[in-house]
Amino acid sequence: MPATVLVVGGAGFIGSHTCVELLQHGYEVVVVDDLSNSSPHSLERVAKIADTAVPVLYVMDIRDRSALSEVFRAHPIEAVIHFAAKKAVGESVGMPVEYYDNNVGGTTALVSAMREHGVRRLVFSSSCSVYGNAVKVPLTERDPVAPTNPYASSKWLCEQILTDVCRRVPGMNVLNLRYFNPVGAHPSGLLGEDPRGVPVNLMPYMSRVAHGRLARLRVFGDDYPTVDGTGVRDYVHVMDVAEGHRVALQHLDDEAGMRTFNLGTGVGSSVLQLIAAFEDATGRRIPYDVTDRRPGDVAALVADPTAVNRAWNWSTSRDLAAMCRDAWHFQSRNLAGYAD
Ligand code: NAD
Ligand code: WQD
């Protein structure tokens, strides 16, 4: 019998790609998602790529404790991957209570259900945003955290809660993964990032400019102390992030308690470098204007991935060209996202 993994938030961007990776490696997948930021069609695409049945989907909010308990009762769940969260930084500033309620309240509800049902293995989605205004790059897991918005604070609070739970609950093993900037899509063009409304993040915005659905890209500031003045980030292919979760499942029992790892490539790219890579990979021109800095942005965030490389003997393998090509492939084949 393959192991059964509960993927919470599994219909979303990273969750759906992770479902493909797990199904292709023989895991049984059960998904819980309230579809507040995703479409059930993503799981149909998952099944098509993996050539399996569509994973069981429970459409529910994880804060619904009795419904969540039913899910644990109905399946022999051995491990949980927790992707479910609200993730828009700007929005979180305007609605902090909703962000703490959903992200922190969702995590405590999930951990309670796990404890009640004797499930002790969890992979948690954290974020490079917990590092805040990094004083130097690349960042190791030992560098200080300093969240600068409610979204990032909600992730940091979850990390602290999980640390305390691991101290208290014998046998509880948590892998806390701080992703940097996941982008790209499954190379099939069937699965990708399908944000609602106008995208706020660079890669999905740029893909829509390339397609002509948005007129021009705004480059937020060219006066940062970086290679060309524009913001530097560690873009990581979503299939590497998905693969990282599959590998994480194999390492959950390596050590007891809570362990934190950066999930990035270790390579920083500026906005202008990403535009150039996108143009090279797709043959499309990206018209842009340089505008003021976006409030709250930092100059550079780049992972030092040494810890995860050593612990799992694993590293990311897809480059910026693949990220751009695959993001564009999905965008050009799915003009209206999964609604197509
Ligand atoms: P996403 O919005 O595509 O996926 C999250 C999923 O969780 C969505 O399908 C949403 O409907 C669901 N969800 C949210 N709240 C829920 C709730 N209370 N109950 C049930 N389902 C709920 O986001 P993503 O990009 O796939 O991100 C996955 C995780 O990774 C999130 O926790 C996010 O904070 C974290 N993360 C994302 C990035 C990024 O740039 N995408 C970077 C770092 C960390
Ligand atoms: C990347 C770079 C912008 C849009 C976000 C979250 C973070 C984490 C990862 C969840 C920056 C510039 C952007 C545009 C631009 N997510 N930019 N024009 O802000 O690094 O990180 O995703 O945990 O918490 O904040 O990603 O893609 O928005 O920006 O010039 O239209 O592109 O200034 O330098 P960010 P992003």
% of the chain surpassing 70 pLDDT: 99
CA of 195 to the centre of ligand 1 (A): 11
Asked if 39 and 193 count as a contact pair (C-beta separation under 8 A), the reply is no
Q: What per-residue confidence (pLDDT) applies to 339?
A: 79
CA of 70 to the centre of ligand 2 (A): 38
pLDDT digits (tens, 9 = 90+) for 106-135: 999 999 999 999 999 999 999 999 999 888
Q: CA nearest 177: which of 2, 15, 12?
A: 15
Give domain status of residue 79, yes or no.
yes
Using CA atoms, how far residue 76 sits from 1, 33, 80, 166, 209, in Å, is 11, 18, 11, 22, 45
- Ligand 2 atom nearest to CA at 152: 24
Q: Would you write out the chain's pLDDT as a tens digit for each of its 340 residues?
A: 569 999 999 999 999 999 999 999 999 999 999 999 999 999 999 999 999 999 999 999 999 999 999 999 999 999 999 999 999 999 999 999 999 999 999 999 999 999 999 999 999 999 999 999 888 999 999 999 999 999 999 999 999 999 999 999 999 999 999 999 999 999 999 999 988 889 999 999 999 999 999 999 999 999 999 999 999 999 999 999 999 999 999 999 999 999 999 999 999 999 999 999 999 999 999 999 999 999 989 999 999 999 999 999 999 999 999 999 999 999 999 988 887 5
Q: Is the dihedral of CA 112, 177, 189, 210 positive or negative?
A: positive
152: CATH? 3.40.50.720
* Mean pLDDT value across the chain: 96
Give domain status of residue 193, yes or no.
no
Task: Decide: 159 in ligand 1 pocket, CB within 6 A.
Answer: no
Give domain status of residue 284, yes or no.
no
Atom 41 of ligand 1, residue of closest alpha carbon: 182
Q: Which of 6, 8, 14, 239 to probe ligand 1 with, by most ligand atoms within 8 A of CB?
A: 14
3-state secondary structure of 83: coil
Task: Decide: 65 in ligand 1 pocket, CB within 6 A.
Answer: no
pLDDT digits (tens, 9 = 90+) for 285-340: 999 999 999 998 999 999 999 999 999 999 999 999 999 999 999 999 998 888 75
Atom 9 of ligand 2, residue of closest alpha carbon: 181
E-assigned strand segments in 26-128: 28-33, 56-59, 77-82, 121-127
- Ligand 2 atom nearest to CA at 182: 9
Task: List, in order, residues 6 or more apart from 205 with CB less than 8 Å away.
Answer: 198, 199, 214, 217
Chain-centroid distance of CA 221 in Å reads 25
Q: Is 131 a catalytic residue?
A: no
> What is the number of structural domains in the chain?
1
Give domain status of residue 260, yes or no.
yes
pTM of the model: 0.98
Q: What per-residue confidence (pLDDT) applies to 336?
A: 84
Give domain status of residue 76, yes or no.
yes
Give domain status of residue 95, yes or no.
yes
* Strands 77-82 vs 56-59: parallel, antiparallel or unpaired: unpaired
- Candidate list 99, 131, 151, 179, residue with the active-site label: 151
- Ligand 1 atom nearest to CA at 82: 32
Domain that holds residue 257: 4-183+235-264
